[in-house]
């Protein structure tokens, strides 16, 4: 199996995360992708290649161009006013209710206001090299997609930073650009065929759901910790099924606490029946390994062997499959879990 990887991700190197009302070392850090790279490089079933450059047009087809502009210049503008800053995090969030009964708001001009206009939470620091890394992750996703469009049965993009929490207008949840959504939109618009995104990250991919919520050409299917207890808390419920033309194309499986291999694979098998009946040409998997039993920020109980079983279930769909890396925070097990999932898929 081809693996697309770029060291550009090393440029997104936060040292601090503001979460659970404290600061700590970031859960999402460069060591995650490097652990996956080292494991797969040592396995002859995987063949590495670098991404090609795709520019900003595929990104701006999914995201507000204002978000792209902000991410490209935001850190530099903030640092110019705050010498010595390393991680940029909002102090003030733009909330629509601030302007209740007034005209619709617009992007602030002050850089401190712009950060909170484009970002929805505090765990996602913008650093000097974040934009370069985020562009590299999109290039990785699109290059992986091209391999599958060119005939590969499957390919894996080692995307970092991840993408599925980024909405059309907002970054957050360790995500800047929605790599899987950009890939899905690219396939749907360049081939005229339907696409399914299967999101198996522990956290609901609120960004991906939002981007495609009113569309019938991209199906979004997610298994995730129930938002009644899990980030992002406000999106990901079972009764969110799409709107307008997209009604029925959004399917959520909120999972109970400590769901194990058997419970998880049963839900995944059910999800795959719905994927098969949608009739997409291509499957994109948002592969998070934070469903793992000892993941430090999650509460399911899938094992490394369970990851293999998940890959095998998806393989039975016999669809051309683009696998893109999302979360997974037990770094000691992360490489083995990715490997196990991809071997199940047929690497």
CB-CB neighbours of 312 under 10 Å: 15
d(CA 71, CA 134): 9
d(CA 73, CA 91): 18
Identify whether the C-beta of residue 301 lies closer than 8 Å to the C-beta of residue 260.
yes
3-state SS assignment for residue 200 = coil
C-beta of 139 vs 201, nearer to Zn ion = 201
d(CA 147, CA 167): 26
Least distance (Å) between residue 77 CB and Zn ion = 30
C-beta of 199 vs 217, nearer to Zn ion = 199
φ, ψ for residue 225, nearest 5 deg:
-55, 135
C-beta of 188 vs 338, nearer to Zn ion = 338
Using only C-alpha atoms, what is the Rg of the chain?
Answer: 19
d(CA 29, CA 201): 17
d(CA 340, CA 310): 9
Least distance (Å) between residue 321 CB and Zn ion = 20
Least distance (Å) between residue 212 CB and Zn ion = 19
C-beta of 186 vs 203, nearer to Zn ion = 203
C-beta of 140 vs 146, nearer to Zn ion = 140
φ, ψ for residue 293, nearest 5 deg:
-60, -30
C-beta of 54 vs 341, nearer to Zn ion = 341
Q: What share of the chain is helix, strand, coil (3-state, %, to 5)?
A: 40, 15, 45
DSSP 8-state assignment for residue 181: H
Tokens found for residue 24: 């700590």
Least distance (Å) between residue 156 CB and Zn ion = 17
C-beta of 287 vs 313, nearer to Zn ion = 287
Which residue number has the CB closest to Zn ion?
Answer: 327
Least distance (Å) between residue 201 CB and Zn ion = 4
Identify whether the C-beta of residue 255 lies closer than 8 Å to the C-beta of residue 267.
yes
Token pair 């109980």: residue: 301
Site residues for Zn ion per CB under 5 A: 201-203, 288, 290, 327
Active site residue 165: yes
d(CA 127, CA 76): 9
DSSP 8-state assignment for residue 122: S
DSSP 8-state assignment for residue 246: G
d(CA 108, CA 74): 13
d(CA 304, CA 253): 21
Least distance (Å) between residue 290 CB and Zn ion = 4
**Which position among 9, 12, 164, 165 bears the catalytic label?**
165
Least distance (Å) between residue 287 CB and Zn ion = 10
Active site residues: 165
């Amino acid at each position: 199996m081809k693996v697309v990887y770029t060291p550009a991700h090393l440029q997104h190197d936060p040292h601090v995360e503001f979460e659970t009302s404290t600061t700590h070392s970031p859960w999402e850090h460069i060591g995650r992708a490097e652990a996956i790279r080292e494991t797969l490089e040592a396995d002859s079933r995987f063949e590495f290649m670098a991404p090609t450059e795709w520019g900003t047009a595929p990104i701006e087809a999914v995201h507000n161009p204002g978000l792209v502009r902000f991410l490209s210049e935001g850190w530099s503008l903030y640092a110019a006013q705050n010498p010595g800053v390393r991680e940029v995090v909002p102090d003030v969030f733009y909330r629509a209710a601030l302007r209740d009964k007034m005209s619709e708001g617009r992007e602030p001009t002050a850089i401190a206001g712009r950060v909170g206009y484009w970002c929805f939470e505090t765990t996602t620091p913008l650093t000097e090299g974040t934009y370069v890394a985020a562009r590299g992750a999109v290039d990785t996703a699109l290059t992986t997609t091209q391999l599958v469009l060119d005939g590969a049965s499957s390919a894996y993009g080692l995307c970092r930073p991840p993408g599925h929490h980024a909405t059309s207008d907002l970054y957050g949840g360790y995500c800047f650009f929605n790599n899987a959504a950009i890939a899905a939109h690219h396939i749907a618009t360049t081939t005229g065929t339907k696409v399914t995104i299967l999101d198996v990250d522990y956290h609901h991919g609120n960004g991906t759901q939002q981007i495609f919520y009113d569309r019938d050409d991209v199906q979004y299917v997610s298994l995730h910790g129930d938002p009644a207890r899990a980030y992002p808390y406000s999106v990901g419920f079972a009764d969110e099924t799409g709107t307008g033309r997209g009604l029925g194309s959004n399917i959520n499986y909120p999972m109970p606490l400590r769901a194990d291999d058997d419970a998880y694979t049963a839900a995944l098998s059910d999800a795959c029946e719905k994927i098969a009946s949608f009739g997409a040409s291509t499957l994109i998997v948002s592969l998070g390994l934070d469903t793992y039993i000892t993941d430090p920020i999650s509460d399911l109980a899938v094992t490394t062997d369970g990851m293999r079983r998940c890959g095998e279930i998806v393989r039975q769909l016999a669809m051309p499959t683009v696998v893109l890396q999302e979360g997974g925070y037990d770094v000691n097990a992360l490489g083995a879990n990715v490997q196990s999932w991809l071997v199940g898929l047929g690497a």
